[in-house]
Structure 1
């Protein structure tokens, strides 16, 4: 399969269109245009999941349709799919039956149009030891049905335990100027030690770091962001200080705050004891993709300034609500 790394713009992967959460998904035509644009610009790390949508219509259906229309693109893409949940629920199921159901369903929906390069359980099932869950997935790798295994939102200890059962190809975690946990909890250091790349989801802080939302009332009425603690009205004005400071640097450099945010991630990739880090910003238009694949080039002084901003304006509120937060870094 293609390598889970890249160079230049190829280092910026994508969770595209219906491949991620969208209250009002774009049309198939718009989705296909954006996906085609991403691949043409070297962004070939695509990330989707059973959970992005309903069991009847999710990102796997869109992928099937895309690769049916563009079959020659299939071998150019590294496809990672999240599953391992109870169908229609955000409840982890890392049991043998749960893993088998999830992988079999993913393979069924792809229908041979695209090889499933990586499969990961969206969260660790607290009722099933992670080494057992990984062993169930590994059976599919050994059978040639999967290319490899990745993990999502796991602790450093879980990464080590899983890696002893089967080599882990990637670890997907939230990472951005809005969420720096992995730099402090051993996840990034462990991945660097074991040679495992990190897939950074929500590298733009769920849209916060784009400058799209300047006040709480800017959130769309049907936005999932209303459910996240960091976007609540009582903390929004405090958190906006971080964005304002980032926008100041962006203005000085003649770029967008999103390009600063992506540049900050890539400036750390593979340096200072950190692993390769591949951000996967979601996008619904070709224009936004073209912006995202041009991350700002940040020097030592820029990174120092951003570090000072993070120290001065710490983010207020958890990444998820209490129940979901409990499943992070398990």
Structure 2
């Protein structure tokens, strides 16, 4: 059909045909409900026709949106189709609440970062941590991120205990990481991505997990002494052996990622990505991930708690036991560049702006930050961490927040106008990054 041919309202036959096409884009057991909802949305279909013939490609997205309107937010939903033309027509953006891997595996958004239960953020409380993990399963927050360095196996152990309860292992997509190896003599970590350690580290992690295999296995930091090709070949061998299904990297440069992708399929890249840290948008890593079809695990999506609005002054961090322990890990609070006395007030402006926008939206600043990240595309998987059931529920509810394109743009302007002052890590940790 030539472009521009459909300028008049479609007749009944055309609408019926479109309803059938749209109905067929969703699961058969939902046809009746979808038909009912589509009839109520016939004016929207009409609007699509008036724009151009390309509106036909909008129908799968329309079906997805209609399903969400009819069934509400409580159900787990399919991700939007790959053909995404909705913004061309100024229709409200469909906020992703799931993402689909290349093999069809569907993952709910956002995920969960377990580090704080064992490492850096305050004292351990295993019983509380396990309650929070069980609550995550109950909610459907089932993409979990851990690493062997978090408590030197402790994090894996408490996760393993919960996953071995009942059918829990079948419900959780577990991401594990290796590469930060402990030196008993120096009492510190060093990076080891050698093929030998890649294999040995996974065996140790499986032991910590109580015999369970992680779904995905990532190199935590790039070993500058070991060519990335060697590490990736070892990871791919573990995948072929069946000890993990997916592989990836963390905190790598775009160049390293492209080299790795030439050796084997890379499924995930984990990076720090938040409204307070956009370096991955500027250094080519996110572009490389999009080009190569790699999912992005966004750690510290709330700026290590800064964007929650919980801390009103630099003094508040001194009173916070969790953060006090984190800063002791990096030797002193003054070594955390963005949170020094001088930089705190400069950086706090973005928190005030997020509080303003969140109040207007009727949500928490943390939820707005997570919703905005997910609005960047369903290839972004935020993994906010917490030990608290309360904050877990709050974070996961960010998937229920719809942002219009105007709201997405408004948040982007706030971010651009309030770039952070200071590096995201202390000097020693910055030096260890693959930049």
The TM-score with structure 1 as length reference comes to 0.90
Structure 1, residues 203-231: CA drift from partner, whole Å, max 9, x if none?
01000011111111111252314342111
Name 1:273's counterpart in structure 2: none
Any gaps of 5 or more consecutive residues in structure 2?
1-77, 80-95, 99-107, 328-332
Is structure 2 residue 209 aligned with structure 1 residue 107?
no
Q: Describe how 1:1-330 pairs up with structure 2 within 5 A.
A: 8=97, 10-16=108-114, 17-18=116-117, 21-25=120-124, 27-53=125-151, 55=152, 57-68=153-164, 70-87=165-182, 89-112=188-211, 114-219=212-317, 220=320, 222-225=324-327, 226=333, 227-270=335-378, 276-295=379-398, 296-330=401-435
Q: CA deviation at 1:20?
A: 5.5
- 1:176 touches 1:204 (CA, 8 Å); kept in 2? yes
Q: Secondary structure at the match of 1:283?
A: coil
Instruction: Report runs of 4+ in structure 1 exceeding 6 Å deviation.
Output: none
Aligned partners of 2:189 and 2:310: how far apart in 1?
A: 27
**For residues 38 and 207 of structure 1, what CA distance do their matches in structure 2 show?**
19
Whole-angstrom CA distance in 1 between matches of 2:161 and 2:406: 46
SS at match of 2:381: strand
Pairwise CA RMSD: 1.8
CA contact (8 A) 2:110 2:382 kept: yes
Distance 2:203 2:182 in 1: 13
SS in 2 for 1:86: strand
Q: Using the alignment, how far apart are the partners of 2:119 and 2:233 within structure 1?
A: 27
1:71 Cα deviation after fit: 3.6
SS in 2 for 1:293: helix
In structure 1, how many angstroms separate the alpha carbons of the residues matched to 2:202 and 2:344? 39
Bigger RCO of structures 1 and 2 (CA < 8 A, at least 6 apart) = 1
1:3-42 C-alpha deviation (Å, 9 max, x unpaired)? xx976372110013526542212x3222122112212222
Q: 1:253-279 CA distances to partner (integer Å, 9 max, x unpaired)?
A: 111100110011011114xxxxx1000
Once residues 229 and 13 of structure 1 are traced to their aligned partners in structure 2, the CA distance between those partners, rounded to angstroms, is 28
* Counterpart-to-counterpart distance in 2, 1:45 and 1:218: 31
8 Å CA contact 1:174–1:201 kept in 2: the answer is: yes
- Secondary structure of 1:49 counterpart: coil
Q: State the distance in 2 between where 1:153 and 1:319 align.
A: 13
Structure-1 separation of matches of 2:215 and 2:120: 21
CA apart distance, 1:97: 2.7
- Give the match's secondary structure for 2:202: helix
Whether contact under 8 Å (2:299, 2:384) holds in the other structure is yes
Deviations 1:71-96 (A, max 9, x none): 41102111111111222533210112
Report the number of matched residues: 316
In 2 relative to 1, CA 298–21 (structure 1 residues): closer, same or farther, beyond 3 Å? farther
8 Å contact kept, 1:32–1:66: yes
Contact preservation (8 Å) 2:161, 2:210: no
TM (norm. structure 2) is 0.69
Please tell me whether the aligned partners of residues 211 and 257 of structure 1 are also in contact (alpha carbons under 8 angstroms): yes
CA shift, 1:98, in A, is: 2.4
What does the per-residue CA deviation read over 1:22-76, in whole Å, with 9 as the maximum and x for residues that have no partner?
2212x322212211221222211100011111x3x521111122123x1411021
Whether the 8 Å contact between 1:49 and 1:58 is mirrored in structure 2 is no
